[in-house]
Amino acid sequence: MLFHPLARSIGPLLPSARTISSSKSPALIAELPFGPTLRMKRYAFKNGLRMLTLLDRTAPVVSFHTWFSVGSRNEQKGKTGLAHLFEHLMFNETKRAKKGQFDQRIESAGGETNASTWTDWTHYHTELPASQLNVIMELEADRMHNLVLRPPQVRSEKDVVANERRFRVDDDVEGEAHELLYRLAYKRHPYGHPTIGSMRDIKGFTPRDCERFYKTYYAPNNALLVVAGDFNEKKLLADVQRLYGKLKPAQLPPPPTIKELPQREERVRRLYRPTPTRKLALGYHAPAFGEADYSVLSLINEILFVGRSARVYQRLVRKEQLAAEVHAGIAPFVDPGLYDIWITLQPDAALGKTLKVLDEELDRITSKRVTAAELMRVKNRAELAFLMAMETSAGKAEQLGFYETVLGDAGKLMQRLEDFRAVTADDVLRVARKVLDAQGRTRIEVLPAKGKRA
């Protein structure tokens, strides 16, 4: 994923947005600086459709991204996986195009297209030569309201998703452990649902389920378009109005408001699987992407796990030689997520000792201030990662769309930089103590033996 929240100051940092009101559709709502020369513009259409544009003539390419504010967070028990199923259905048949024609037209235009689904959103993205922008716009507008959802189409994609689940979860130790981690960590909140869906739910979906979901969430007032690269802005606005302007908005259900109760004790589960090495998955309840402490925790993760100089890597992999692989990440969710850690042990390593050494490193960052040099090093490294992700029009479009969808404001993409620069050693100590509490964590132990499934 390219949603790294660090950015270098490359021009004025979010002065007051220039706001323009208009009685016509589309309306230019705001214009913000994006670096020293580029400008991001936000448009709103009468039917609720939103659009961000970033004109950049560096290369004759354009990125056209569509974000829908729906993911597994919006699903109910017994109907998990619908958002992900639609990621597949949307590449299927429409009233105007047969199955396979979407990909064929994009390939013929010299472009690339793909999609992804997660807890809070579904994201469709296409990159192609600037001269071919109209191709993807026509295709995207068509499948937003002309998708065919008869039994053969639904059955075919259900089979594809069921096989994907077998490959990524049921027959994959890490995938299964990760799913179990979230299921145990979330007792109330829908983040405990697997985004891919349970096998029972996948097999049980009907065309009626799909039609209801499609009419509810695949509507212009639940969609965001992001266009970045080389394009004619006047023509773009006219074409979007022509292709999307007549689409009717939907009655959107309110977003889920369920809050997870505080976890007061560690939850532990063992998985016995035919795997050659022991594995360990840990989950700590973490701040939402929009909270200030998220930025601090991301730097803590850099200190502990990112790169060969990271503390946990040095201790578990290099010095103690207990682990073959260590990695961790913070879920960038709308609501509070998880800070999850994954460790693959060496064949002869004891799980108890490995956990003890890991806890020693976590205790160290919760008890002693990080040095100024180490803090500056991880800030610089994270900043570089962000800048590399923003080198292309696709990277810019993805970042803008993510921030607008998750935070409701793409402008915060650059605003976050100052928050990171302001992080102190005291902040690191405070957030580490708040998050890295063993009493509130969830732990999955994967053991190489046969037994009952969890």
pLDDT in tens, 36-58: 889 999 999 999 999 999 999 99
Instruction: Measure the CA–CA gap between 197 and 185, rounded to whole angstroms.
Output: 17
Q: Which residues contact 69 (CB under 8 A, 6 or more apart)?
A: 120, 121, 217, 222, 223, 224, 405
pLDDT in tens, 418-451: 888 899 999 999 999 999 999 999 999 999 976 4
All structural domains of the chain? 18-244 (3.30.830.10), 267-447 (3.30.830.10)
CB 416 within 8 A of CB 333: no
- Can you give the chain as a three-state secondary structure string? CCCCCCCCCCCCCCCCCEECCCCCCCEEEEEEEECCCEEEEEEECCCCCEEEEEECCCCCEEEEEEEECCCHHHCCCCCCCHHHHHHHHCCCCECCCCCCHHHHHHHHCCCEEEEEECCCCEEEEEEEEHHHHHHHHHHHHHHHHCECCCHHHHHHHHHHHHHHHHHHHHCCHHHHHHHHHHHHHCCCCHHHCCCCCCHHHHHHCCHHHHHHHHHHHCCHHHEEEEEEECCCHHHHHHHHHHHHCCCCCCCCCCCCCCCCCCCCCCEEEEEECCCCCCEEEEEEECCCCCCHHHHHHHHHHHHHHCCCCCHHHHHHHHHCCCEEEEEEEECCCCCCCEEEEEEEECCCCCHHHHHHHHHHHHHHHHHCCCCHHHHHHHHHHHHHHHHHHCCCHHHHHHHHHHHHHHHCCCCHHHHHHHHHHCCCHHHHHHHHHHHCCHHHEEEEEEECCCCCCC
Kindly report whether the global pTM for this prediction surpasses the value 0.85.
yes
Peptide bond into 26 cis (omega under 30): yes
The closest alpha carbon to 27, from 61, 51, 63, belongs to 51
**How is residue 331 written in tokens?**
């879920």
pLDDT tens per residue across all 454 residues of the chain: 333 332 222 222 233 344 444 445 799 999 999 988 899 999 999 999 999 999 999 999 999 999 999 999 999 999 999 999 999 999 999 999 999 999 999 999 999 999 999 999 999 999 999 999 999 999 999 999 999 999 999 999 999 999 999 999 999 999 999 999 999 999 999 999 999 999 999 999 999 999 999 999 999 999 999 999 999 999 999 999 999 999 999 999 999 999 999 999 999 999 999 899 999 999 999 999 999 999 999 999 999 999 999 999 999 999 999 999 999 999 999 999 999 999 999 999 999 999 999 999 999 999 999 999 999 999 998 888 877 878 899 999 999 999 999 999 998 988 878 888 899 999 999 999 999 999 999 999 999 976 444 4
